[in-house]
Amino acid sequence: MIELGSDQPPPFTELVRRTCTRKDGIFIDERAKYLVIDVEEVVKLMTSDEGSLNSVNETDSTTATPTHILLNQEYLKTVSTSLQHNLDMDMRISCLEKNSETVNINVETLKAGMTTLKDDIVSEFKDEMAATRASLQVILQALGVNSATPQQVNHTQPYVPTEMSPNPTVQNATMPNYASTPPMTTAQQAAFEEW
C-alpha cells in the first residue's frame, strides 16, 4: 500500500501477482497467472473503450481510481465464475463416481447371475445325460446287447465293434429277417414290373 503511494489497498490482481510469483517475476501457480492476465486484459479493453476512465487521476488518494475498482470487480467476477466452474466439475465428477459405483454393482450382480445360470445349466445337462444313459442301458438290455458300465470303458483306446452276436433275437432286432418273407408270386412280380 505504501509502495503504491496511496492509502488504498492494491487491486486484487496486484496482491495475487505479489503472492504467487517468484523474485524473478515468474508465476508459481499457472491458474493464478491466467486469472490475473485475463482480468487485466478485460479491464484494459474496458478502459480503452471508455475514454473517460483513462482521464481520471490515478494518484488521487481520497478516492479509489475507477481502474482499481474495475480490476477488483472483474477479479471477483472471474474468481466467482471459476469457482462455479470448479463446483460444476466437482458435481459432474461426483455423478460419474456414483454411476461408476452403480455399474460396478450391476456387473457384480450380473457375474453372480451368470455363475448361477452356468451352474444350473451344467447340473441340468448332467441330469439329462444320466437320464439318456439310463434309457440307453434299458434299450441295450432289451436288445440283449452286453453293455459296458462306465468303469469298464477304456477311454484311452478307440472303440472297435465286435462281431455280431450269434443270438438270433439280436439279429432279428437289428436286421430284418429276409428268410421269413415269402417270395413274390408271378402276379405280384408282374404288377411290380409294371409299376
Report d(CA 58, CA 164) in Å as an integer: 121
Find the mean pLDDT for residues 121-137: 93
Please give the model's pTM, rounded to 2 decimal places: 0.40
| 12 pLDDT more than 90 | no
Report d(CA 116, CA 148) in Å as an integer: 34
| 2 pLDDT more than 50 | no
Residue showing cell 465464475:
81
**pLDDT tens column, 29-70:** 888 888 889 888 988 888 887 654 444 444 444 444 578 888
Cell of 8: 488504498
Confidence label for 159 from pLDDT (cuts 50, 70 and 90): low
Report d(CA 10, CA 167) in Å as an integer: 118
What average pLDDT is seen over the chain? 77
In this prediction, residue 31 carries a pLDDT of 86
In this prediction, residue 186 carries a pLDDT of 80
In this prediction, residue 187 carries a pLDDT of 77
Task: Give all strands (DSSP E) within the chain, no chain letters.
Answer: none
In this prediction, residue 120 carries a pLDDT of 93
| 5 pLDDT more than 50 | yes
Cβ-proximal residues to 165 (8 Å cutoff; 6+ apart), any chain: 144, 145, 171
Cell of 46: 474496458
Report d(CA 9, CA 138) in Å as an integer: 105
Find the mean pLDDT for residues 67-81: 86
**pLDDT tens column, 63-73:** 445 788 888 88
In this prediction, residue 57 carries a pLDDT of 42
Report d(CA 15, CA 46) in Å as an integer: 21
Percent of the chain with pLDDT over 90: 25
